[in-house]
Structure 1
Amino acid sequence: MDLKNKITTIMPRVHDLRWQIHRYPELSLKEEQTAALVERELIEIGLVPQLVTNTGVTALLEGGRPGKTIALRADMDALPLPEETGCLHSSKVAGVMHACGHDVHTAVLLGVARLLASFRERISGNVKFIFQPAEENNPTGGAKPMIEAGVLNDPKVDLILALHVWPELPVGSIGVRDGAMMAASDRVFVKVLGKSSHGSAPHQGIDAIAVSAQVISALQTVVSRNVSPLEAAVLTFGTVRGGHRYNIIANQVELEGTCRTLNPAVRRLVETRIDQVASQVAVGLGAESEVRYVHGYPALINSAEGFTVLKQAGEETLGKDGVVIPQYPAMGAEDFAFFVEKVPGALFWLGCTKLNAPMVPLHSPEFLPAEECLAVGVEVLSRAVFNYLT
């Protein structure tokens, strides 16, 4: 089976699909055109697509012989960001672009579906393709609703794999590690309640701005003094809103931030301490606080089996030097984590920056994965399937 030659023949179609999706990006839960494109392509390949949760799409490829079931997942949604890549295929939708590479993910998985369909008789088992909406819609996401709709059943999925473009790795490489791959992502809301007075008479009020400044400072000690230095945690407050006028003591300040952790025990500890510290600091300064900690995506933990399957496929595709075992997980989040909470699986990072080109980070208006990475993604996932099901 000359897999590389076969991949070469389908890549023009894969590239065309990528640019179609790139030109017409759609926000979370609004992926109607993308879902319709995916359905048309799956039908052309000879599969029977099914809509799940309005804009999610699945299809099952049954092999020539019975066996296990492996699932492959790609996310489809874009971000509310105006594109600044200067690309000929730039977004035609004002204020929306594929700044996280989900156009690549979707096109790669469609390429894998086309390739595997042509080798159906050589497969022992089933391949379930999952095209997921709303990955960017934290804290709800799109994975959990699809799981609740039964996407991992009928037939029961034994292993699930996914990829994510990764600009910190060059084209021609992938990154994958056993265990924690990406972090849990939670939202933190703190409301500090004081009492208004004239700015010239602060003693007659309770300054919520002054109190919130102390709360923010004290909360940084949750990570530095309550979390073990051998564990990972990040607590960042990105917005502070409060006050009505320059000469009025603010009676209320609202803080909004994000908390990232890798260990579920650390996640629980940080949640508890945020509430305790914010409340006690506020009370100590005569104010009150209200804390709301919203669980978003859990940590993405690659299973040993999923890691082994992807590592082998990566080495067969790129050689041993092409497979990077990252020393540390990323503190970014991915709702694929919900899938690997339910069944064994793993996600790998797909290198997407050309050699000697500047690294443009995810979620940048200038982010544009190199075309050459798509064939790598198709081959790694395809080899993973063949190794698992033949």
Structure 2
Amino acid sequence: MASITVRHMAAPPATVSRHAGKQPEKPSDMDIAKRYCEIGDLAEAAEELRAIRHQIHQHPELAYEELETAALVAHKLAAWGYEVTTGVGHTGVVGTLKVGDGKRSIGIRADMDALPIHEQTGLPYASQRHGKMHACGHDGHTTMLLGAAQYLAATRRFSGTVHLYFQPAEEHGINSGALSMIRDGLFERFPCDAVFGMHNHPGAPAGTLLFRSGPFQAAGDNVYITIKGRGGHAARPHLTVDPVVVASSIVTGLQTIVARNVEPGQAAVVTVGVLQAGSANNVIPHSARLELSVRSFSPEVRALLKERITSLVQQQAASYGAQAEIEYLMGYPVVINSERETAFAIQVAQELVGEDKVVPHTAQLMGSEDFAYMLQQRPGCYLRIGNGDGEDGCMVHNPGYDFNDHNLPVGAAYWARLAERFLSQTPAG
């Protein structure tokens, strides 16, 4: 897809504020109140943000199909005075806002794609597209960043450059949107000193911000296994090689890998999400198919899992006289947050919502996330925002899930404040 750049007249430069010294200085309470975004500053925009989120929710688009969502984002950004580039990594959008003469730049990312799930929420703004829904909250992620974009363009209380990365295809698993944008020159064309991203977190109170420095979310690999046996009549199993029995044995055997091969202090998951075989109860099929999701945090454990899964599957199949074909795809790497940027992001969160609503060292998560590719290119931090607990905390990738609208002004204010604070500091070095 071709890239389109839209330019608008720049607004008058805002007052530039700087802090001397190599390390970012914590502002005084008076400075915070005077200069940086508060949640209340987004109160008037809350209803507009809900309308935008509900519009995106009603019209979900799968990976690399986000044409309508990308057009909406591009239109909003252009109207607010951003330089807008579309078609980055196929359907990605980047909005750029430069204010003053500051040399620093920040990148903030939101994902836009939906999932192939049929929505069952019964909400008035439920998906209008059968078999597609925003079951992971990307509609909320996109809207929070749009809210920050509108606020930053209106106030311009920073000096430097803000790049907003609206990314496609986070759910793709392989050849993801983050990787596509990077391969399309994201950080060369729209460079930043640090990059930040956010995901909602069901199970934590809405508006709570969760952080972890270092390894945070697991690497995720996908394994596709085809068991080839010899089909036949269900009444004469002795003349067949039953791939259903083989597959069942493999599923049981796979459960021993983490329990008996991975060091107990290490985290790992091997999940069989698909087992397909046969179509009639009086027919032994010729083949069976397994699909696995494999999660880990260390390169050593990741390599061990691949070796043990491959060996176990092949040997189990051979022991029954069957054959196994294995496609092992290395997926997203580990999300590793840099220490300095995470400490800064925590500080901004504590200023905004208070220390009681900030978890600075939350538990590691076995879910994977392609923002990891961006963190391989630039220092930064990936954080979580509580989506609600109890009945409001429905897990993502569930047909009953919905993003919590309470988070829209909170997340937008956080991104705005983070950008203002980041671009008010003198770079270290």
Please state how far the C-alpha of 1:202 moved relative to its aligned partner: 3.8
1:140 to 160, 167, 175: 175
Q: Determine the structure 1 residue equivalent to 2:19.
A: none
1:224-303 to structure 2, matched below 5 A, reads: 224-243=259-278, 245-303=280-338
Determine if contact 1:174/1:314 at 8 Å carries over to the other structure.
Answer: yes
Q: Determine the structure 2 residue equivalent to 1:163.
A: 198
Please state how far the C-alpha of 1:90 moved relative to its aligned partner: 2.2
SS of equivalent residue, structure 2 residue 188: coil
Question: Counterpart of 1:379 in structure 2: which amino acid?
Answer: A
Q: Determine the structure 1 residue equivalent to 2:68.
A: 33
SS of equivalent residue, structure 1 residue 308: helix
Distance in 2 separating the partners of 1:245 and 1:372: 49
Determine if contact 2:112/2:168 at 8 Å carries over to the other structure.
Answer: yes
Matched, 1:94 2:136: no
Determine if contact 1:315/1:322 at 8 Å carries over to the other structure.
Answer: yes
Question: Counterpart of 1:188 in structure 2: which amino acid?
Answer: V
Q: Determine the structure 2 residue equivalent to 1:387.
A: 421
Unaligned runs of 5+ in 1: none
Unaligned runs of 5+ in 2: 1-34, 425-429
Q: Determine the structure 2 residue equivalent to 1:22.
A: 57
SS of equivalent residue, structure 2 residue 293: strand
Please state how far the C-alpha of 1:101 moved relative to its aligned partner: 0.9
Q: Determine the structure 2 residue equivalent to 1:72.
A: 108
Please state how far the C-alpha of 1:357 moved relative to its aligned partner: 4.3
Please state how far the C-alpha of 1:327 moved relative to its aligned partner: 4.2
Determine if contact 2:92/2:181 at 8 Å carries over to the other structure.
Answer: yes
Q: Which stretch shifts more, 209-218 or 245-254?
A: 245-254
Determine if contact 1:60/1:126 at 8 Å carries over to the other structure.
Answer: yes
Question: Counterpart of 2:108 in structure 1: which amino acid?
Answer: L
Distance in 1 separating the partners of 2:36 and 2:334: 37
Please state how far the C-alpha of 1:145 moved relative to its aligned partner: 0.5
Matched, 1:376 2:420: no
SS of equivalent residue, structure 1 residue 225: helix
Q: Determine the structure 2 residue equivalent to 1:205.
A: 240
1:319 to 331, 340, 354: 354
Distance in 2 separating the partners of 1:147 and 1:239: 31
Distance in 1 separating the partners of 2:160 and 2:370: 26
Q: Determine the structure 2 residue equivalent to 1:364.
A: 398
Question: Counterpart of 1:175 in structure 2: which amino acid?
Answer: L
Question: Counterpart of 1:271 in structure 2: which amino acid?
Answer: K
TM-superposition CA deviations, 1:20-56 (whole Å, max 9, x none): 2122222221111111111111111101211113321
Aligned residues: 388
Determine if contact 1:167/1:369 at 8 Å carries over to the other structure.
Answer: no
Change in CA separation of 1:327 and 1:3 when aligned onto 2, cut-off 3 Å: closer
Please state how far the C-alpha of 1:200 moved relative to its aligned partner: 4.6
1:326-341 to structure 2, matched below 5 A, reads: 326-341=361-376
Q: Which stretch shifts more, 195-204 or 315-324?
A: 195-204
SS of equivalent residue, structure 1 residue 257: strand
Q: Determine the structure 1 residue equivalent to 2:121.
A: 85
Please state how far the C-alpha of 1:8 moved relative to its aligned partner: 2.5
Change in CA separation of 1:384 and 1:214 when aligned onto 2, cut-off 3 Å: same
Matched, 1:174 2:209: yes
Change in CA separation of 1:204 and 1:171 when aligned onto 2, cut-off 3 Å: closer
TM-superposition CA deviations, 1:48-73 (whole Å, max 9, x none): 21111332100211131222221000
Question: Counterpart of 1:351 in structure 2: which amino acid?
Answer: G
Q: Percentage identity across aligned positions?
A: 37
